Amino acid sequence: MARRAPRATPPAFPSREEIRRFIATAPGRIGKREIAREFGLHASQRGELRDLLKSLAAEGVLAPAGHRRFTGPGRLPEAMVVQVTGTDPDGEALARPVTWREPGAPPLILMAPEPRGRPALAPGERVLARLRPIGPGRYEGRTLKRLTTMPGRIVGLFQAAPAEHRRPAAGRIRPADRRARAEWEVPLGESGGAEPGEIVLAAPLPHGGLGLKPARVIERLGRLGDASSVSLITLHALHIPHEFPAAALDEAAAARAVSESGREDLRAVPLITIDGADARDFDDAVFAEPDGDGFRLVVAIADVAHYVHPGTALDQAAWLRGNSVYFPDRVVPMLPEALSNHWCSLRPGEDRGCLFAELRIDAAGRKTGHRFGRGLMRSAARLTYEEVQHAADACASPGLPERLIEHLYGAFRALLAARRARGTLDLDLPEWQVRLGEDGKVADVRARPRLDSHRLIEEFMVLANVAAAEELERLRAPCVYRIHAAPSPEKLRGLRTFLQGFGVTLPPGERVHPRDLDRALAALAGDEAAPLANEMVLRSQAQAQYAVENIGHFGLGLTRYAHFTSPIRRYADLLVHRALIGALGLGAGALAQEESGRLADIAEHITATERRAASAERDAIERYLAAFMAERLGAQFEARISGVTRFGLFVTVTTNGANGIVPLSSMHDDFWTFDEPAQTLSGRRSGRVYRLAESVAVRLAEASPLTGGLVFHLLDTARPRPPAGPRGGRRRAR
């Protein structure tokens, strides 16, 4: 009988540095197959290699480059998809990579002019570009193929043509994007009837000569300062869909109430919704009662999957949006109002379909069990955060079952204890609320109060989200995780330097635990540096995203996490609902096989739409604040320094969160030196030192509601301050 040849001994597994070096020097994108071939790895070592690559990517040592592919960090490939973000002073397009997950700002891409006769590239356009390095952090890009389905769009203020203009023109467009440094010319006959002072949407025209690039007005959006102009500028500038296709509206209009068949009857459970006073859709309801030494919780979520099936017009519209977008004057919903404000809204006293999570926790807030199902519920009450907090403080439950509020807060306190035990990052950052008057102008800007009732709902939702991820893993079903990587070593080093300036240190090493960051913030609580310290910790964090491969959630201190609780406004939650319905056999509306095969691409898409929405909401707030401040030119404000650069200071007004710049050119009474490691500006003559987090008095010099930009001047440039904090190499700023 022939003897079996002995199995070959697996080769030595490469070190982390060897793999990093190979990927950094290899051309193109690299995956497990190329690495295994390079180092002669056996199939038995593929699992170890996969885990190592995930770890390196989470630390920022490698840059993801598509599904299970990587490149060296910070290096752009020879060809990639880029998005035009603005123009330089000569009107040439500037761009950035569409996907950029590296620490720090993305490289700047200077796009070469388009060939004669083709429309110029406009902000928002995406192109496949060939890239050539031209300096540190700078590339030249040449268009290989335009990818946007519509021509580029320019949103801006239509103005009359200057009297000294050399050739006849209908007017000019001043872009609303502050990154666009050049205006556009509107030729005669191309103004679309626009009048000076109106916000317009325009398309680039073919251009082959010198001077300003031409554009045609295709839509008039209203006058600058109108109630709707701010949100309309943002919607069009970021290409956010805000009108539903007729087919999607028809499907939503055909929706009807769910039947009891196949559903667990929860109508006897006094579930209540707790939302903001201005909320119009209610997609989650909660209940709690004592259960032995712990609590039994029920979290019921609107059954959106019953109405929005894969492949339908509604589904396509929801996928395209990815999420709802919220502005002070309007909401751009992910779903038509017939669903978001009616059949999928858990209105009090009305029967509604739901997916529910029944959760059990012990006295320490640890989850001891969970169960998911499809139910029929009837909300017992619609309460605001303020009403719930008042009831808790007064130890009352007006119009509700006896002790319901007390039991909700009892469960909340247990969950809060569990959060503190595992160690999480709890940032104390104000959320600024812009209130509009009846005339559409900003009436007030204030910090939204942070109540225990807000945190109660957050803790209930986090628990349900964790249970959803665990249930899908248990059933070996596909899952779109909500992941959050630990801070990269580079960002951690910058944060250490900042904190050391205030005598606060972090544990040594390239990795920290969320509780380490929380302790650092606690050490500065009550100090004037506390607001900026919270911001700096936030800036040091990686951006959370959606992914099919789980690396855990650093900020929450969780090993697995998914979004389950807001399917009205987030497509990710709808996917998790579909996966649970299919895995548990809960009826129609399950995840389609075709969807399962492209979950990685869907996760990347909805991550991008989420970031687009966040950018839109932030831009709108900045424009509203600029409009609010424009009526206060020359006024004085207390502010704190939130950034130090070689060209000036960034400041934040303490009363309303307005951000602006103090240009170095306005600080003309001294010769200023920029100390980058210490983040200070020092006056050579006066000895005055400006540093991060310092309180300063400023005067508002300029405000642009069109772009959201604010310019301030300092009022105390002559007052000397002794230098303090860490010192480093100096660079001349002026």
pLDDT at 396: 81
Q: What is the 3-state secondary structure (H, E, C) of 10-30?
A: CCCCCCHHHHHHHHHHCCCCE
Strand (E) or helix (H) holding 646: none
Mean pLDDT of 8-25: 74
> How distant, in Å, are the alpha carbons of 9, 65, 305 from that of 568?
54, 31, 10
Domain 632-732 fold is OB fold (Dihydrolipoamide Acetyltransferase, E2P) (2.40.50)
Helix (H) or strand (E) holding 604: helix 599-630
d(CA 554, CA 517): 11
pLDDT, position 25: 66
CA atoms in the 13 A half-sphere facing the CB of 656: 18
- The predicted pLDDT at position 402 comes to 87
The fraction of the chain above a pLDDT of 90, given in percent, is 57
Segment 169-187 shows an average pLDDT of: 89
**Which has the closest alpha carbon to 78: 97, 105, 64?**
97
Return the SS3 of 203: strand
Q: What is the pLDDT of residues 564-617, one digit of tens each?
A: 999 999 999 999 999 999 999 999 999 999 899 899 999 989 998 999 999 999
How far is Cα 199 from Cα 178, in angstroms, rounded to an integer? 15
β-strands 381-384, 272-275 pairing? parallel
User: What is the mean pLDDT of the segment spanning 162-167?
Assistant: 71
Q: 661 near 648, Cβ under 8 Å? A: yes
CA–CA distance, 642 with 529 (Å, rounded to integer): 10
- Residue 502 scores a pLDDT above 50: yes
Mean pLDDT calculated for residue range 190-195:
93
Contacts of 62-69 with C-beta under 8 Å, sequence gap 24+, read 62/20, 62/23, 63/101, 63/102, 64/99, 64/101, 65/29, 66/29, 67/600, 67/601, 68/31, 68/32, 69/29, 69/30, 69/31
Residue 60 has pLDDT above 80, yes or no: no
pLDDT digits (tens, 9 = 90+) for 89-100: 777 888 888 877
pLDDT tens-place string over residues 123-139 = 778 888 988 888 777 89
pLDDT averaged over the chain?
88
Residue 365 has pLDDT above 80, yes or no: yes
What is the per-residue pLDDT for 734?
32
- Is the pLDDT score of 733 beyond 60? no
Mean pLDDT on 683-697: 90
Q: What is the pLDDT of residues 609-656, one digit of tens each?
A: 999 999 999 999 999 999 999 999 999 999 999 999 988 999 999 999
d(CA 724, CA 449): 35
